[in-house]
C-alpha cells in the first residue's frame, strides 16, 4: 500500500470517526438541551407558582393589615364616641334644672350615710345651689349636720363629702365614670347598631 493510500485511509477513517463523533455529540447536545429546557420549564413553573403563592401571601398579609387597621379605626371611633357620650351625660346632669339637680345630689349624699361633715362643690354650684343642697341633704338625713365648705373642687358638678379623715368623691365625673363599664355596651349598641362587630370590647 502506497503512502497515498495510507493517507487516504487515515483521512477516510478520521472523517468517518469525526462524523460519528459529531452525530453522537449532536444527539447528546440535543438530549442535554431537552433536559435543560425541561428543567428550565420546571424552574419557570416553580417560580411562577412561588410568585403566585407569594402574591397570594402578600395580598393576604395586606388584607389582614388593612382589616386590623380598620378594626383599630372602628375601635378608636367607638372609644371616642363612648367618651363623648359620657361627657355629654355629665354635661346633661350638670345642666339640670336647679331644683332637680339639688334633689339629685341630696339623695346621693344621703346614700353615703354620713350625717356630719362638709360638702365641697365647684365654684359655680357653690354659688348657685350650695345652701339649698346642704339644707335639703340635712332635711333628708333627719337632723344632719352637714355644712357647705369654703373650698371648691375642679369638676363639672357633683360634690366631695368630707367628714374627718373620710373623703368621698362624688363628682359627676366620678359617678358617671363608675358606670362606664356597665353602660358602654348600651352606648355602643345605640351608636353602632348596624355594625356586626359592635360588641367588640371598647
Closest CA to 114 of 92, 98, 138, 150: 138
Do the domain assignments include residue 145? yes
Separation of alpha carbons 80 and 83, rounded Å: 5
Tell me: the pLDDT tens digits for 80-138?
777 887 888 888 888 989 999 999 999 999 999 899 999 999 999 999 999 999 999 99
Do the domain assignments include residue 169? yes
Do the domain assignments include residue 168? yes
Do the domain assignments include residue 110? yes
Q: What is the pLDDT of residue 15?
A: 45
Do the domain assignments include residue 13? no
Q: Is pLDDT of 42 > 80?
A: no
Separation of alpha carbons 10 and 6, rounded Å: 6
Which residues, other chains included, contact 109 with Cβ-Cβ below 8 Å and sequence gap of 6+? 119, 133, 137, 140, 141, 146, 159, 161, 170
* Bigger pLDDT: 95 vs 39: 95
Q: Which domain covers residue 112, as residue numbers?
A: 97-180
Do the domain assignments include residue 61? no
Do the domain assignments include residue 58? no
Separation of alpha carbons 175 and 156, rounded Å: 12
CATH number at residue 101: 3.30.2320.30
Whole-prediction pTM: 0.60
Number of domains in the chain: 1
Residue 191, C-alpha cell as written in the block: 351608636
Tell me: the pLDDT tens digits for 153-166?
999 999 999 999 98
Do the domain assignments include residue 26? no
* Bigger pLDDT: 37 vs 77: 77
Amino acid at each position: 500500500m502506497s503512502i497515498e493510500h495510507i493517507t487516504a485511509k487515515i483521512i477516510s477513517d478520521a472523517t468517518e470517526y469525526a462524523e460519528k463523533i459529531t452525530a453522537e455529540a449532536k444527539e447528546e447536545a440535543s438530549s442535554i438541551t431537552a433536559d435543560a429546557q425541561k428543567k428550565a420549564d420546571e424552574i419557570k413553573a416553580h417560580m411562577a407558582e412561588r410568585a403566585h403563592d407569594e402574591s397570594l401571601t402578600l395580598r393576604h398579609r395586606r388584607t389582614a393589615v388593612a382589616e386590623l387597621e380598620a378594626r383599630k379605626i372602628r375601635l378608636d371611633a367607638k372609644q371616642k364616641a363612648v367618651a363623648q357620650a359620657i361627657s355629654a351625660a355629665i354635661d346633661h346632669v350638670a345642666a339640670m334644672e336647679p331644683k332637680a339637680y339639688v334633689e339629685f345630689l341630696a339623695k346621693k349624699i344621703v346614700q353615703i350615710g354620713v350625717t356630719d361633715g362638709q360638702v365641697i362643690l365647684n365654684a359655680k354650684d357653690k354659688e348657685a345651689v350650695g345652701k339649698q343642697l346642704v339644707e335639703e341633704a340635712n332635711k333628708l338625713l333627719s337632723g344632719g349636720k352637714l355644712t357647705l365648705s369654703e373650698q371648691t373642687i375642679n369638676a363639672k358638678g357633683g360634690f366631695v363629702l368630707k367628714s374627718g379623715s373620710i373623703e368621698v368623691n362624688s363628682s359627676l365625673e366620678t359617678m358617671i365614670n363608675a358606670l362606664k363599664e356597665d353602660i358602654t355596651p348600651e352606648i355602643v349598641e345605640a351608636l353602632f347598631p348596624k355594625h356586626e362587630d359592635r360588641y367588640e370590647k371598647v
